[in-house]
C-alpha cells in the first residue's frame, strides 16, 4: 500500500472517501503505513487498534443497548460503516447475534423499518419502474452478484403485508449467507419489489417508504415479475434468485413458473421443508422409528406446509411407500378446519392432502381423531397449541413431536416450556425462533431451533460453487439428510435435534458439498467436478479479517 502507483491509483478510495466505504473501511485498525499511503493521517485517532480490540468495543456497546431493536439498529450501523468488522462480530458471537440480526428481532425491525431507516441498502423496484428494470439493476455498483434475495413484502414472517418495510428480510437473509456460508458480501443483492400494499396502517404512516397504491394482482402482477426475472437474467446471469416471503399462491405460482427456467428457489417452501425434514430424521435417531412410521398433522396449509409435506412424502417413497400412501400419512388443518375431500373450497395445493373424513374444526378433536405422531405449526397463528391440544398429543404418543415453527417468537404456536410441561418432559420440540433451555424434573432440555438458517446458506453455497443451472428438490433432500446427521448423540440426548449454531460454518460447508454432489451427479453443474470438492468450496468462502 506504500507503492507510489497504488498511492496514485484513481480507483483506490483515499482519505475520507475510504473511511466512508464500508467494504474497505477498517477504522482505527488502519496501520501507520496505510494511514500515510491512503491519506488517512489526522482523520483517525492516533492509536492503532487491532480487530480484537475493536470487537471488544463494539460488543460492549452492543450489550449496553436496552432493547433488541436498539441492538438491531446498532448492528446495521456497524454494517454500514465497517462490513468486515460487522461479519467478524457475527461469526465470533453467532448464537448471540443471529436472533438480533434475523428472527425474531428482524420482525420488529420490519414493522418499524421506515422509522429506523438510516442508509439505503439493496434495490427497490416498483411498478413505476416497468420497462426499465434492467436499467435499475445496472445502478447496483457490483457487477458480479452470486445471490439475490427478493421479496414483495406481502407475507413477512407471520406478520403479514409490510410492503417495502419487508426489505429487512432480504437484508437479514443475505447477512446469514455471508455469516453462515461465507458468500462474499459484495456478491449479495437484496431486492424489494414494490407492487403496493393493502396494509391501511402503512398507507396512513407518514414515514412509509413505498408507493401508496393497493397491491396489484393477476396478469399485471405476473407481467411485472416476468420483467424482473428477465432483467435479472440479463444483468446477473450467474446469480441464484431466492424468492422470500411472498403470499402463498404467488409463492407457489412463481416457483412453478421459474424453477425450470432460471436458477431459483423459494426458501419458505423448500428451505423450510428441508429443515423440517432434517428435524424429523433426527427424531428418528432418538426414537428408532422411520419416517414412514410417522403420521403428520399440519396446523396451517400455506406454502410452508405444502413444501414440507411434499418433501417428506417424496422421502417416504425412498423408504418403500408409494407417493399416494405417503400423502395419506399427512393431514392439513386450515382456517376452516380439517382439510377433507368433501370440501369444495380447497385451493389446488391442498387437494392432494385432502382425505376422506368428516369435517372437524376443533384442533383437539382433530388430534384425537387422526392420532398423529407429529403436530407441525406453520400457520403464523400464535398460541394455537393449547394445553388441551398438547396433552391430547401426549396421551396418544410416548414421545409426542411438537414443532412450533411459526416466526417470529410472538407467533409461535406454543413455547418450549409449555410443550415440555404439558407432556411431563416427553415432548420432542422444535421451533422456528429460539427458546431458552428448560429445566424439568432435574433435567435440562434444549429445544431445537428448526430455522431455515441451517439450510439455505449451505444450499446457496453449493449451487454457486458448482455453478448449477437449476436448484432442485433433490438438493434440498440432500441438505436435510446432511443436516440430520450433524447433530451429535450428546446433542440429541439433551432433546435438541440440530447441531449448535456455533458450528454453522462447518454445517453449511457439509451441506454445500452434498448439494454440489447432486449438481455434478445430475449433470446440472456448469463446471467440471474438482478433484477436491471440499477444498474447492472452502477456497470460495469469505472470511472477515483485515
- Residues with catalytic roles: 102, 173
Q: Please name which of 48, 420, 508, 234 lies closest in space to residue 499, comparing C-alpha atoms.
A: 508
128 vs 119, 155, 189, 195, 234, CA distance in Å? 22, 22, 21, 9, 20
Cα 218 to Cα 100: distance, rounded to the nearest angstrom: 36
Residues 370, 371, 374, CA angle at the centre, nearest 5°? 105
286, three cell numbers:
432418538
Task: Name the residue with cell 467494504.
Answer: 23
8 Å CB contact between 437 and 405: no
Cα 246 to Cα 223: distance, rounded to the nearest angstrom: 16
8 Å CB contact between 158 and 378: no
Cα 111 to Cα 118: distance, rounded to the nearest angstrom: 15
Q: Please name which of 330, 195, 305, 196 lies closest in space to residue 248, comparing C-alpha atoms.
A: 305
Q: Which 8-state DSSP code applies to residue 334? A: E
238 vs 84, 170, 187, 467, 487, CA distance in Å? 25, 19, 11, 8, 33
369 vs 235, 297, 390, 398, CA distance in Å? 54, 11, 14, 17
457, three cell numbers:
446458506
SS (H, E, C) 399-434: CCEEEECCCCHHHCCCCHHHHHHHCCCCCEEEECCC
Task: Render 528-542 in DSSP notation, one character per residue.
Answer: PPPSSHHHHHHHH--
Task: Render 440-464 in DSSP notation, one character per residue.
Answer: ETTEEE--EE--GGGTHHHHHHHHH
315, three cell numbers:
422421502
Task: Name the residue with cell 412453478.
Answer: 256
Look at residue 149 and give its three-state secondary structure.
strand
What's the maximum distance between 2 C-alpha atoms anywhere in the chain?
82
DSSP-derived pairing of the beta strands 147-151 and 188-194? parallel
Look at residue 495 and give its three-state secondary structure.
coil
Residues 307, 310, 312, CA angle at the centre, nearest 5°? 105
Main-chain dihedrals φ then ψ at residue 396, nearest 5 degrees = -90, -35
Instruction: Name residues whose C-beta falls within 8 Å of residue 265's C-beta, 6 or more positions apart in sequence.
Output: 240, 242, 243, 255, 259, 271, 459, 471, 476
Amino acid at each position: 500500500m506504500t507503492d507510489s502507483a497504488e498511492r496514485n491509483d484513481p480507483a483506490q478510495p483515499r482519505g475520507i472517501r475510504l473511511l466512508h466505504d464500508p467494504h474497505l473501511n477498517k477504522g482505527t485498525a488502519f496501520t501507520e503505513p496505510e494511514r500515510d499511503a491512503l491519506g488517512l493521517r489526522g482523520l483517525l485517532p492516533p492509536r492503532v487498534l487491532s480487530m480484537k480490540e475493536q470487537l471488544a468495543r463494539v460488543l460492549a456497546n452492543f450489550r449496553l443497548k436496552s432493547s433488541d431493536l436498539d441492538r438491531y439498529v446498532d448492528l446495521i450501523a456497524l454494517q454500514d460503516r465497517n462490513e468486515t468488522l460487522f461479519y467478524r462480530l457475527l461469526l465470533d458471537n453467532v448464537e448471540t447475534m443471529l436472533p438480533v440480526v434475523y428472527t425474531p428481532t428482524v420482525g420488529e425491525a420490519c414493522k418499524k423499518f421506515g422509522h429506523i431507516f438510516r442508509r439505503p441498502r439493496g434495490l427497490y423496484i416498483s411498478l413505476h419502474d416497468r420497462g426499465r428494470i434492467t436499467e435499475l439493476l445496472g445502478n447496483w455498483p457490483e457487477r458480479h452478484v452470486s445471490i439475490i434475495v427478493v421479496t414483495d413484502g406481502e407475507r413477512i414472517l407471520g406478520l403479514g403485508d409490510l410492503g417495502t418495510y419487508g426489505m429487512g428480510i432480504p437484508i437479514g437473509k443475505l447477512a446469514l449467507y455471508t455469516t453462515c456460508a461465507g458468500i462474499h458480501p459484495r456478491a449479495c443483492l437484496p431486492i424489494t419489489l414494490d407492487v403496493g400494499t393493502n396494509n391501511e396502517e402503512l398507507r396512513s404512516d407518514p414515514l412509509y417508504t413505498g408507493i401508496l397504491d393497493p397491491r396489484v394482482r393477476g396478469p399485471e402482477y405476473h407481467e411485472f415479475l416476468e420483467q424482473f426475472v428477465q432483467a435479472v437474467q440479463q444483468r446477473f446471469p450467474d446469480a441464484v434468485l431466492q424468492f422470500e416471503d411472498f403470499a402463498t399462491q404467488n409463492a407457489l405460482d412463481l416457483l412453478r413458473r421459474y424453477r425450470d427456467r432460471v436458477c431459483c428457489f423459494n426458501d419458505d417452501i423448500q428451505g423450510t421443508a428441508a429443515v423440517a425434514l432434517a428435524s424429523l430424521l433426527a427424531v428418528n435417531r432418538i426414537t428408532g422409528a422411520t419416517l414412514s412410521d410417522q403420521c403428520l398433522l399440519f396446523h396451517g396449509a400455506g406454502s410452508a406446509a405444502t413444501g414440507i409435506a411434499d418433501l417428506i412424502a417424496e422421502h417416504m417413497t425412498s423408504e418403500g411407500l408409494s407417493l399416494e400412501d405417503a400423502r395419506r400419512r399427512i393431514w392439513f388443518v386450515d382456517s376452516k378446519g380439517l382439510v377433507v375431500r368433501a370440501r369444495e373450497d380447497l385451493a389446488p395445493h391442498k387437494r392432494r392432502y385432502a382425505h376422506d373424513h368428516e369435517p372437524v374444526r376443533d384442533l383437539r378433536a382433530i388430534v384425537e381423531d387422526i392420532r398423529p405422531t407429529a403436530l407441525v405449526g406453520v400457520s403464523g397463528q400464535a398460541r394455537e397449541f393449547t394445553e388441551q391440544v398438547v396433552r391430547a398429543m401426549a396421551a396418544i404418543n410416548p414421545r409426542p413431536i411438537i414443532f412450533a415453527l411459526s416466526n417470529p417468537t410472538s407467533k409461535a404456536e406454543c413455547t418450549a416450556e409449555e410443550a415440555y410441561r404439558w407432556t411431563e418432559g416427553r415432548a420432542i420440540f422444535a421451533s422456528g425462533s429460539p427458546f431458552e433451555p428448560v429445566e424439568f424434573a432435574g433435567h435440562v432440555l434444549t429445544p431445537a431451533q428448526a430455522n431455515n438458517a441451517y439450510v439455505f446458506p449451505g444450499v446457496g453455497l453449493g449451487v454457486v460453487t458448482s455453478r448449477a443451472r437449476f436448484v432442485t428438490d433433490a438438493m434440498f433432500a440432500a441438505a436435510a439428510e446432511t443436516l440430520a446427521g450433524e447433530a451429535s448423540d450428546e446433542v440429541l440426548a439433551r432433546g435438541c435435534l440440530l447441531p449448535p449454531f456455533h458450528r454453522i460454518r462447518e454445517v453449511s460447508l457439509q451441506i454445500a458439498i452434498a448439494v454440489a454432489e447432486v449438481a455434478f451427479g445430475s449433470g446440472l453443474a456448469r463446471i467440471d467436478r474438482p478433484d477436491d470438492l471440499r477444498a474447492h468450496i472452502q477456497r470460495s468462502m469469505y472470511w472477515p479479517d483485515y
